[in-house]
Structure 1
Amino acid sequence: MVRSSNAARTGAWLVLLALVVVSVNLRPTITTVAGVMNQVNGAFGLDPSLLPLLGTLPVLAFGVSGPIAPWLARKVGAAPAIGLALMVLAGALVLRVVLPALLLPGTFLAGTAIMTASVLVPQIVKANHGTGWWTGLCTMGFGLGAALGAGLVQPLEQAFGGSLAWALAVWALPAVAGAILILGTRRTTAAGAGVPDLATAARSWAAGGGAPASDATGKVTPLRKQRTAWAVTAFFGLQAMLYFAITSWLAVYLMSKGLSPADAAALLAWFSLAGLPASLLAPVLASRPRVLRVLAPGLGISVAVALIGVLLAPAALQFPMVGVLGVVQSAGFGLGMALVVIRSAGPQSAGKLSAMSQGFGFALASLGPLAAGLLHTWTGRWEATFLALAAEALVLAGAGFFAIRGPVASIESVEPSAETHTKPELVR
């Protein structure tokens, strides 16, 4: 009995380690390019007019490839699906170097692979009874990967003798490592059985979150007809739209304030690093309904205030202001991932809600970098861009308000009972 318990506990930690390593691989593809956007046309022979498209392509791929992950997971299992996605990601990163003419298609393929892996992370967390700490560590992995991508791209370029292409392609190596790790956990993640529940929060999320959406006969309503699912999707999409707009253009904006390219890239890395603790703690705090009542809508308001701060601050004060923006933005991403787990009834529901929220959400988010760039081009200034992003952050606050109310999202059938109609909502 003790040996079985120890084995289960070890298996749980191995799954968590694999998920964190996977998460670290799901942002460098974006932030490496964002930090050296002004060098890409020379390194790859890309028409400068296509640079906004390069920043938008990964997010556009996120939006159109959402259904791939649930389908692939049904065919081969969640862990093998993530492993396959990471191998495709590694291949796409190398392909762009071997054939520079395929920079844009390779970037789209990389985005598809990232989306496939990203969608399945919450499903594995839910299947293994992961608490807020699990979700927090995974979202922190996203932030750590983003920071490493932005901060190491120029040192790597120098290490490769000035080759930007190989500085971008070297990220294929950690992708392969992540694939190996997650494939090693496939037996544990296949069933989610025998893995210890590390705290009671995960159970209480579903128990206190209202009954699964169903009609009087117990037949479950499709997610597309469930208000909670759309509220979670809106929250995830709006915070992602803000994130990708900021990461795509923050370095360019900072250079317009008089900072050098190296300093601007360093602040982009700082934007991600500063948010690491917030991305870890937001899902943990979200497991407490009283905190969640304030956290969900409050984050949107905080992001709006931080954006105005970055806009108004002089170059000398950008370090603290960018840090504050990184904290609240990363907390929003952590909460967005946590809501998928908190506001779903079980692993299959979490997987479907993850696909829906990230699929539709990233389709919306793909407009962020493009719209931000066009606003700047049309006006020749940054005020309109930042004010529009701040207004969007206020809409995010509204989405957060509705995401934490009502029944949990579910595709898993339930038997009608008195309990179905008497369970309290998560937040009233």
Structure 2
Amino acid sequence: MRENRVGGPGLGSRATTGLILLALVMVSINLRPAITTVAGVMNQVHGVYGLDPSLLALLGTLPVLAFGISGPVGPWLARRLGTGRAVAVALLALAAALILRATVPALLLPGTFLAGMAIMSASVLVPQIVKSNRGTGWWTGLCTMGFGLGAALGAGLVQPLEQAFGGSLPSALAAWAVPALLGAFLIHRSGGRTTSTPPSPGTASQVPGPASPVSGSASPLRKQRTAWAVTAFFGLQAMLYFAITSWLAVYLVSRGLSPSEAAALLAWFSLAGLPASLLAPVLAGRPRILRVMAPGLGISVALALVGVLVAPVGLQFLMVGILGVVQSAGFGLAMALVVIRSAGPQSAGRLSAMSQGFGFALASLGPLGAGLLHTMTGGWEVTFWALAAEALVLAGAGFLAIRGPLVSVEPAEASLQPASKAGSLR
């Protein structure tokens, strides 16, 4: 795979590594505001853009549907441009989509779909860059925290920005093209290239975590059960996340909160989870914790969803915060599993594309399904109970994802895994 050069001639290895990590965090921050900005003002979209109210569920589903379709685009671009340049191109496309959908009402839906494709193209390459740079769980944690921070900033700042622009919602939405351009510049400057030589045969795994035996001849991903388990875990937690972020504010308004209060709680949902999204990948590197964490998070999300449903309005700040913590921890673990359960950078890239491609295709059903259940029943009880049941299935997927051999698509990567480290979490 072609790679960009990192930094400039005067940069030392530490400075180069720091620049790559900074670029990755900035990229991650840009991969959620396109969704949460619209979710935070969903009640205004009909009036400003003339969108049929029946299409609001589609508006929430489009970016996630784009995620599921565009999984192969990122690896395809990386093979031709290099990983860093591929991510930069994706962020430039994201900036263009954000401006077009905000300023041209007829392009609201197509622009949202294009934004989703751009986000996915960049997102699938983040684990590959982490693995290539032998990044620890802290690297993955900082990236997942960047996702959560971007989601919180998108939801929390869209209305203040609207007021700052004199009540112009299109301007408030288009403003998010600026950080996307900054992210494109940083990742292109760093290149996303490996900063150190690959480990020689017999060295430890690149990322702390449970290692498992891998065969000398790699089989296709579709035949590797660990790959499907990781994909199921990623997809189910994403399905829950996008269902929650698409409809939580609307649900809270139905409980009697004002639109601004509901948007603030949606931002709190993301902010409360920031520490969990940082720490979950770090803790996942400890096998004893991972045994409990992988299935336990699904159960915790189910309980938190029920809590948001039954809690009085006065306790919603607490319950939404708890939901944000366990949901963000689930996303952090999903990203960590892609890195931990892969044998090397190429396998991480392929597993990332598979888990996020198939996973987000599944996740696209979340906002649509939640909206349809609400429309069919006229309330939120059935919707929340259905999401809680899905969270229990997530627990089962987590149980399976930490067992079995590492995912490997390259025999050369497989040979790097020492026999002394073999053994899954049985």
Q: Which interval holds the TM-score relative to the shorter structure?
A: over 0.9
State the one-letter code of the partner of 1:203.
Answer: Q
State the one-letter code of the partner of 1:190.
Answer: R
State the one-letter code of the partner of 1:229.
Answer: A
1:249 and 1:402 mapped to 2: Cα distance? 30
Q: Which residue, out of 190, 213, 216, partners 1:211? A: 213
1:386 alignment counterpart: 384
2:288 alignment counterpart: 290
In structure 2, the residue corresponding to 1:20 is in which secondary structure? helix
State the one-letter code of the partner of 1:32.
Answer: T
- Aligned pairs (5 A) from 1:79-118: 79-118=84-123
State the one-letter code of the partner of 2:166.
Answer: G
Cα distance, 1:201 vs. partner?
A: 8.3
Q: Which residue, out of 11, 17, 25, partners 1:12? A: 17
State whether structure 2 residue 174 is matched by structure 1 residue 169: yes
When structure 1 is superposed on structure 2, of 147-156 and 4-13 the one drifting more is 4-13
State whether structure 2 residue 349 is matched by structure 1 residue 347: no
Contact 1:94 1:172 in 2 (8 A): yes
**TM-score, scaled relative to structure 1:** 0.93
Contact 1:375 1:384 in 2 (8 A): yes
In structure 2, the residue corresponding to 1:323 is in which secondary structure? helix
Q: Which residue, out of 142, 146, 149, partners 1:144? A: 149
Cα distance, 1:415 vs. partner?
A: 9.5
State whether structure 2 residue 27 is matched by structure 1 residue 29: no
2:331 and 2:189 mapped to 1: Cα distance? 28
How many pairs does the alignment contain? Answer: 414
Q: Which residue, out of 356, 359, 362, partners 1:361? A: 359
1:414 and 1:178 mapped to 2: Cα distance? 33
1:60 alignment counterpart: 65
In structure 1, the residue corresponding to 2:124 is in which secondary structure? helix
- Aligned pairs (5 A) from 1:21-420: 21-186=26-191, 189-193=192-196, 203=206, 205=208, 208-212=210-214, 214=215, 218-414=216-412
When structure 1 is superposed on structure 2, of 95-104 and 290-299 the one drifting more is 95-104
State the one-letter code of the partner of 1:193.
Answer: S
Aligned-pair identity in percent equals 74
Per-residue CA distance 1:16-52 (angstroms, 9 max, x = gap):
0000000000000000000110101111121111111
Per-residue CA distance 1:202-229 (angstroms, 9 max, x = gap):
53647x41122x3xxx321001110000
2:262 and 2:225 mapped to 1: Cα distance? 41
State the one-letter code of the partner of 1:268.
Answer: L
Contact 2:136 2:207 in 1 (8 A): no
Per-residue CA distance 1:112-134 (angstroms, 9 max, x = gap):
00000100000000000000000
1:202 and 1:236 mapped to 2: Cα distance? 22
Distance verdict in 2 for CA 1:421–1:92, change over 3 Å: same
Cα distance, 1:236 vs. partner?
A: 0.3
In structure 1, the residue corresponding to 2:333 is in which secondary structure? helix
Distance verdict in 2 for CA 1:416–1:292, change over 3 Å: closer
1:425 and 1:333 mapped to 2: Cα distance? 25
**TM-score, scaled relative to structure 2:** 0.94
Contact 2:343 2:408 in 1 (8 A): yes
Unaligned runs of 5+ in 2: 1-8
2:132 and 2:220 mapped to 1: Cα distance? 21
1:157 and 1:245 mapped to 2: Cα distance? 25
State the one-letter code of the partner of 1:124.
Answer: I
Contact 2:102 2:174 in 1 (8 A): yes
Extract structure 1 runs of 4+ deviating beyond 6 A: 419-422
In structure 2, the residue corresponding to 1:258 is in which secondary structure? coil
2:396 and 2:139 mapped to 1: Cα distance? 26
Distance verdict in 2 for CA 1:351–1:312, change over 3 Å: same
Distance verdict in 2 for CA 1:56–1:201, change over 3 Å: farther
1:278 and 1:413 mapped to 2: Cα distance? 35
In structure 2, the residue corresponding to 1:184 is in which secondary structure? helix
1:192 and 1:347 mapped to 2: Cα distance? 13
Cα distance, 1:192 vs. partner?
A: 4.2
Contact 2:403 2:424 in 1 (8 A): yes
